[in-house]
Structure 1
Amino acid sequence: MTEKKTPLPRMQLLDTAAIPGDGGELRFFQEGQHFSIKIAGGGDLMSTRMHGSEDRLAEIACERIAMRPRARVLIGGLGMGFTLAAALRSLNSDAEVVVAELVPAVVRWNRGPLGEHAGNPLNDPRARVCEQDVALLLKNQRAEYDAVMLDVDNGPEGLTHPRNAWLYGMSGLGAIRQALRPRGILAVWSAGSDPRFTERLRRAEFAVEEVPVRAHGKKGLRHRIWVAQRD
């Protein structure tokens, strides 16, 4: 008797959303119990199957500032909520985590069925969402944050949208440095290494460390996180 194979779940398109500024279109998919967000014409931007490096982005940054009273943190890019969830786990009850998300639909997806995968971090009273470009939020701010975490693209040299280049350039790094409090931490997620970005961080007067991480625990793709401290 031939054993019947269970059919694999089919990928289903749940929603689409335009990225402001003619940045293309995001597509939200479900496959069985898992979700993914893709950019039209490209591959996966993120998936609930693998989020280890997104968790580490927050853990590495927050472990350095968690004991500061009323720590205030800014996350650029909500994604699937895993970085936010890891930050909230790492910080004390008096902390505040501000998330800047450019695409309102991404916030809506996280408040829907996607949120369960990260533990519904948007329901935490310490979390606050600003539906705007993180670059606009950073400009002209002074000593507002103990840590800034950026996961708005695939990294300094892996941009899917040219508008994000400002954040990784000297002007953006200067604005981030001004927005940080003394000994504040900038943590930047990237799909790969980039020696030129490391040098830019040093020129912007950050003390820099580059940390290799894996996409899924000890497995999966090798990603990079820059940890830069304001002197």
Structure 2
Amino acid sequence: MLPREEIATAQIPGGDSLTLISHGRDFIIMLGRDELMGTRMQFSEEQLAVLTLERLSVPAPRMLIGGYGMGFTFRAALAGLPETGGEVVVAEVVPEILDWAKGPLAHLTGGTLDDPRGQVVLADVAALVDDAVDGTTPRYDAILMDVDNGPDGIVRDGNERLYTRTGIARMRDALNPGGVLAIWSAAPDHKFTGRLKDAGLDVDVRTVRARPNNKGPHHTIWFARRRG
């Protein structure tokens, strides 16, 4: 059996520690003792971007992604944009995540961090949502949330507020009419589906496998469209 090797650690502000692990040719980010993400199960995080883009009718969408992670969603979003249009803004609270993206995970990152259509901001995604609601920045055509393992806010203290009725309403108001709020989860949550509908959003819940070819665990993605 291949051994696991610890490469680096980082502290989440207001949360647990992250550890970057190598396991043969694969890489894993651990949250404390739990596996948060890994290179063997990236398909559903890519589909978070791919399936969102399929639901957008604007030719050059402005997108916000909560959480960089290993960059799976960011890369898929950039790949789906026109070559000379659109914008993807990523909010990431852990600076070391970007160090890993430029260092031991550079083979995954490619040239995405230098893509002029993309920007990674060291900030809480809730702050960028607030900026759009308040008019400090333009609103988004899509907001993609992958900052937790679902709407239970396990990664960082305070993340739970993103999934409350107030948090959902703020994200809705940060969208342009017809915009899509997409939220990734490791498991279904029927109560959360209800909260999205209560916010006046049109909700489509999809189950996606963690790996291509219909393999790996089942993950859930909510696609909630702002009316108008």
Q: Deviations over 1:23-75 (max 9, x none)?
A: 111111112222111012x211000111011011001111222x524310000
Pairwise CA RMSD of aligned residues? 1.5
Please name the residue that 1:189 is paired with.
184
TM-score, normalised via structure 2 length: 0.92
Paired AA for residue 215 in structure 2: K
Give the CA deviation at 1:17.
0.6
Q: What does residue range 134-153 of structure 1 map to in structure 2 within 5 Å?
A: 134-142=125-133, 144-153=139-148
Runs of 4+ in structure 1 deviating by more than 2 angstroms, as ranges, are 117-121, 157-162
Paired AA for residue 172 in structure 2: R
> Which ranges in structure 1 are unaligned for 5 or more consecutive residues?
1-7
Paired AA for residue 158 in structure 2: R
Please name the residue that 2:219 is paired with.
223
1:213 to 205, 208, 213: 208
Structure 2 residue 66 is matched with structure 1 residue 76? yes
The 1-side partners of 2:44 and 2:34 are apart by 18
- Cα 1:120/1:221, change in 2 over 3 Å: farther
Please name the residue that 1:53 is paired with.
44
The 2-side partners of 1:118 and 1:213 are apart by 23
The 2-side partners of 1:24 and 1:162 are apart by 9
- Cα 1:144/1:158, change in 2 over 3 Å: closer
Count of matched residue pairs: 221
Please name the residue that 2:55 is paired with.
64
TM-score, normalised via structure 1 length: 0.91
Please name the residue that 2:7 is paired with.
14
User: If you compute each CA radius of gyration, which structure gives the higher value, 1 or 2?
Assistant: 1
**Identical amino acids, percent of aligned pairs:** 45
Give the CA deviation at 1:9.
3.4
- Cα 1:140/1:131, change in 2 over 3 Å: closer
Give the CA deviation at 1:120.
4.1
Please name the residue that 1:36 is paired with.
28
Please name the residue that 2:80 is paired with.
90
The 1-side partners of 2:6 and 2:162 are apart by 31
